[in-house]
Structure 1
């Protein structure tokens, strides 16, 4: 029997990136992916002794481009500082912001049935001016600044607002495309007009297009890349001590945050048909 203090086998950190990507207000809710929530987990993953590599288990339909960028940049900074490889293993999906995160890895591994891609930016809203009129609601709006009422849902859509929104979306899309080009480079095997259209594909097709490197899964990847002796160390969200979880304020916060996150996540997965 090998004594623990004599065990010199390499360690591989397993970091799960699951759910919708969005800024969270703090607290103990483990749902979703945010820069603030993931920062301590990422730091912990790259601080493991005898670290040979980091595996990102990704299962995300996307979300905030800013949060995606912040999480991905932190992973890259630590990977380069520690000099260890990072492998992304996609589960159900790495779409939109989820694919942004996958590109933080040196290699992307997918299941044949994973959903991969959706390299685009979306904005959605509602026009409520007719509903307000039917309800007899009078809209009273006062601003200082000619653009402060941008895309007000209680008035008809203005062409200048749509043009401004289109410019913002195009700029964000350019940032996303630049990131994919920088990380995937010559591995992309299709026209950018197709790859960057917002379309998504199965994992098998993503490999053919160069959006991913091969088909596989976490355990086989760890053994193939780091050897049979490599030990997988899962890095997860730490919950508060159980007495604190019983406090009414914390319990209510957890329920509220969970309900909001569930609605956001259902809508995001729905865009992928999942």
Structure 2
């Protein structure tokens, strides 16, 4: 007998109605919105409690498997507020008990007085609280505010290294002012500002500085220079009053820049060498071998696609924020800066710092 022929199977596909598709779309949209809100809240919470700016530790040299670390803290570019990338590195090192010493890598012409002093203060505090030796490695330039922050080494011997081509020194203060009153006269423009007191506009570009105002401003600059000199003495104990900073045969606090050979002769640095020499010096101070430590550095956080995140300055390159930054740059302030155009400096993230 012939086997029965199987009957074909019928598959009925029920098409979704318009209403069903609408509610399905609403459901998926709501799910995605909730997921995005949850992720946003998570990121905001992490950002609120994050004190290190999301910087990432990277291997530099030494033993990759060693627990003991030497941390490289970088101060690069013009110094603005001081509370950005550099401060994040300091906080990261403070929280890491495996860090046994610090190499302070300075490549900066300086910047604002307040920002330079802020960085110096927190580096000094870190050194004292954690009892960590700091050895400076100067890059292309460590001048003015860059030299100021280098004094965080304290009285540690053989602690400042400069490369053969480093520019350093520039110990001094500048309070910028430009007088455009003559140009205004040529174009028949007059400053008719209403002031509560004549001294309210002491540094206005629209008028020359009267002698009595100039004396007040000079006293302010001199007071700031006195602090600069006292900070240099704390990091260079050999530079006493009679040995160069303000009295004696050589005055180093003139704003002059020096070559490494000159700086070593005058006692502004200890050795001419590279960052590897500074790392070895930290090991020597701590009684460690280079093969026993892992040298690390800290990079800014990557973006979603692996590229460095934009700095606050670049994120607000236009609009009201950029206008406020432009106005801020014209505010009267003193600088520890080796530059011919101090008020036009950018504070955009010493290396990516602020």
Contact 1:55 1:87 in 2 (8 A): yes
1:207 and 2:264 equivalent? yes
1:74 aligned to 107, 110, 122, which one? 122
- Give me the whole-angstrom Cα distance separating, in 1, the residues matched to 2:175 and 2:127: 32
Deviates more, 1:234-243 or 1:193-202: 234-243
Inter-CA distance 243–206: structure 2 relative to 1 (3 Å threshold): closer
**Cα contact 1:45–1:235 (8 A) shared by 2:** no
Residue 334 of structure 2 corresponds to none
Q: What is the deviation of 1:236?
A: 2.5
Deviations 1:122-141 (A, max 9, x none): 12221111211222223211
Is the 1:13–1:48 contact (alpha carbons within 8 Å) kept by the matching residues of 2?
no
What is the alpha-carbon distance in structure 1 between the residues aligned to residue 272 and residue 194 of structure 2?
Answer: 56
Q: 1: CA distance between counterparts of 2:257 and 2:298?
A: 29
- 1:116 corresponding residue in structure 2: 168
Q: Which residue of 2 aligns with 1:181?
A: 233
Q: Tell me what 2:141 maps to.
A: 93
Counterpart selection for 1:52 from 87, 100, 104: 100
The 1:243/1:109 distance shift into structure 2, 3 A limit, reads: closer
Residue of structure 1 in register with 2:197 after alignment = 145
Task: Provide runs of 4+ in structure 1 moved above 3 Å.
Answer: 6-9, 187-190, 239-247, 249-252, 254-257, 268-272
How far off is 1:250 after superposition?
8.8
Aligned with 1:15 (options 59, 69, 73): 73
Give the SS at the match of 1:147. Answer: helix
Count of aligned pairs between the two proteins: 250
Structure label with greater radius of gyration: 2
Q: CA RMSD in A?
A: 3.2
Query: CA–CA distance in 2 between the matches of 1:96 and 1:139?
Result: 34
The residue number in structure 1 matching 2:275 is 218
* Alpha carbons of structure 1 residues 246 and 114: separation in structure 2 relative to 1, 3 Å: closer
Q: Scaled by the length of structure 2, what TM-score is found? A: 0.63
Distance 1:19 1:235, change over 3 A: same
**1:10-44 deviations in whole A, cap 9, x for unaligned?**
21001110011112xxxxxxxxxx23442222111
In structure 2, the CA distance between the partners of 1:224 and 1:95, relative to structure 1 (3 Å rule), is closer
Cα distance per residue 1:234-253 (max 9 Å; x no partner): 02322454499999x99652
Say if 1:170 and 1:224 are closer, same or farther in 2 by CA, change over 3 A: closer
In the alignment, structure 2 segments of 5+ residues that lack a partner are: 1-63, 284-288, 330-336, 342-354
TM-score, normalised via structure 1 length: 0.80
Q: Is the 8 A contact 2:135 2:282 kept in 1?
A: no
Asked which structure has the greater RCO (Cα within 8 Å, sep 6+), the reply is: 2
Find the partner of 2:301 among 228, 238, 251: 238
Match of 2:179 in 1: 127
